[in-house]
Copies of this chain bind each other. A is one copy, B any other.
């Protein structure tokens, strides 16, 4: 028995990368016009404005910012790891400047490095950012990525691996972003969501869909309803686990980016109400 559909857009947030062709100001206007009041900002979309101007644009429009995307990439050589920690601190500063609740972490992976070793480096990297995150008042959300990104993007490929890190760190500032695209097939999903929720570590919930005929490993995500994920079923899991936050639409799609983005946003909000 599934839960009821959402009846309004009050919890809907959209990642700026979902409308990649729009700059930040255009995205804010378009989301507002579509009735969407949450925006998760990617660094690429902030960069041309700088923090002060971006913060002003977001505040003037009354937008909430669930997430700033993305920090992480903690693995590598000694010097790479040091540079990464510095960059993550800058990322936290930027997140704080625009009032983001959390930084989403794509944790990194280094070809040839055993994934377990990489996860240890990730744990150390996050630990090194914790005081800074606390000072900023910004949370750190580990996003497990699909195993097809284990080669060079993320050594955390399951909710369990994310949990092992936040449990080891034992700091309420570190939790998880649950993206249906990356975890929908996980045999342990229900149990892992329950565990994360019990410790109030579900910081984000991202939606899109997995198309069975996916033709690109990065840029062919589906709009909710275009694929095979039981999105509402996963929403039921996170909500049963206590999550009541923003539902973030995060879709990378060359196909959808080729459309007029206001039309695309209409599709997004309709699918949100119908499928999430």
Give the interface of A toward B (CB within 8 A). Answer: 111-112, 114-116, 146-148, 150-152, 157-158, 160-161, 184-185, 187, 210-212, 214-217, 227-228, 230
Q: A227 contacts which of B151, B184, B230 (Cβ < 8 Å)?
A: B151
The residue in chain B whose Cβ has the minimal distance to the Cβ of A227 is B151
CA distance A273 to B77 in the complex (A): 30
Out of B185, B215, B230, which one reaches A147, CB within 8 Å?
B185
Interface residues of A, dominant DSSP: loop
11 CB contacts below 8 A, A to B, read: A114-B230, A115-B185, A115-B187, A146-B148, A150-B185, A150-B210, A151-B228, A152-B212, A214-B217, A215-B216, A217-B217
Residue A187 contacts which of B112, B158, B212 (CB distance < 8 angstroms)? B158
A67 to B152: give the CA distance in the assembly, Å.
Answer: 32
Q: How far is the CA of A215 from the CA of B214 in the complex (A)?
A: 11
Residues of B with C-beta under 8 A to A116: 187
Which of B115, B148, B151, B228 sits near A148, CB closer than 8 Å? B148
A215 to B187, CA, bound (A): 27
A216–B160 Cα distance when bound, in Å, is 28
